Every structure is written in C-alpha cells, then in structure tokens.
C-alpha cells in the first residue's frame, strides 16, 4: 500500500488531448513524498453538487517505489518501444501519464528530487529547479 504525505516536493503540468476533440485539458500534478521514491497526485474539487460535501479529491496518478523499479520500468518501455519500431519519439513519462508533460518544477531540498532529476532530463524534459528548505511537520497523535 502506498502512503504519501502532504509535503509537495515538486509539480508539473500534464496536457491531455483526445484525438476526437480539439480541446486539450490541463492538469496540475503534485509530486509528493511517500513511503517510496515519489507519488504523483492530482488534487481536484468536486464539480457535482451531491459530492460537493466531500470537498477535495486526491487521485494518485502514478508512483515509483524506488530507483531500481524506475530503472526497470524505463528498461521495459525501451524494449517494447524498440519492438514496435515506431519512428515517432515517444517519451517514457509522457506515455506513462497519458499526455504531454510541461513545466516541471522540483525542490532540490528533497533527496527524491535529486534522484528524479536525471530521469526527467534523460527523457528530454526541461526542468526548473529551486531550493527551498522546509521545516518538517511533527504530528503527535495520542
């Protein structure tokens, strides 16, 4: 089971466009700390009146347990991509999230961002890095 914290270590914008529709949809995805390497979460507010009492919804888009699992996923993607012999340059993260990734921002204060940065760069994405120290939140439950 994946468990993620409320600490956001980075963000990116995901743009999805259906082939039938000419309108594209943009989603802001948060990269969160978790009990693995990283958890990618889309947070949105309910638009349906019956669900409006519930407030905000958290949708886990994807997650990576550790660096070897990320390496294995990329290796599998590259092997499948070579078999199909498609000439278009499809990126690993774009295909994984089902859209085009834009505006990646990573807070380099966190160890996880230092691990993710080379993967985003090798995949051909432009990444904005910043450093903002964050005080850990201590939660004590009785």
| Domain residue spans of the chain | 4-130
Q: Pull the structure tokens for residue 35.
A: 């009990």
pLDDT for 78 equals 86
**Residue 57 neighbours by CB distance under 10 Å:** 11
Q: Are 32 and 10 in contact (CB under 8 A)?
A: no
pLDDT for 136 equals 65
Angle among Cα 69, 105, 76 to the nearest 5 degrees reads 25
pLDDT for 23 equals 78
Q: What's CA 60's distance to the chain center, in Å?
A: 9
Torsions phi, psi of 127, nearest 5? -125, 130
**Residue ranges for the chain with pLDDT beneath 70:** 48-54, 84-89, 136-142
Convert the pLDDT of each residue in 76-111 to its tens digit: 998 887 776 555 568 899 988 888 999 899 999 999
pLDDT for 122 equals 92
The pTM for the full model equals 0.81
Counting Cα atoms < 13 Å in the Cβ hemisphere of 38 gives 24
């Amino acid at each position: 089971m994946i468990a993620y914290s409320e600490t956001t270590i980075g963000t990116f914008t995901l743009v999805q466009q259906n082939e039938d529709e000419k309108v594209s949809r943009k989603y802001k995805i948060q990269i969160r700390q978790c009990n693995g390497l990283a958890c990618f979460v889309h947070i949105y507010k309910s638009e349906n009146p019956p669900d409006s009492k519930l407030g905000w919804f958290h949708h886990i888009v994807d997650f990576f347990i550790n660096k070897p699992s990320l390496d294995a996923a990329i290796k599998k993607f590259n092997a499948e991509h070579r078999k199909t012999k498609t000439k278009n340059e499809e990126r690993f993260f774009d295909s994984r999230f089902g859209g085009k990734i834009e505006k990646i921002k990573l807070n380099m204060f966190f160890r996880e961002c230092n691990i993710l940065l080379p993967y985003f760069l090798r995949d051909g994405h432009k990444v904005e890095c910043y450093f903002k120290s964050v005080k850990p939140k201590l939660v004590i439950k009785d």
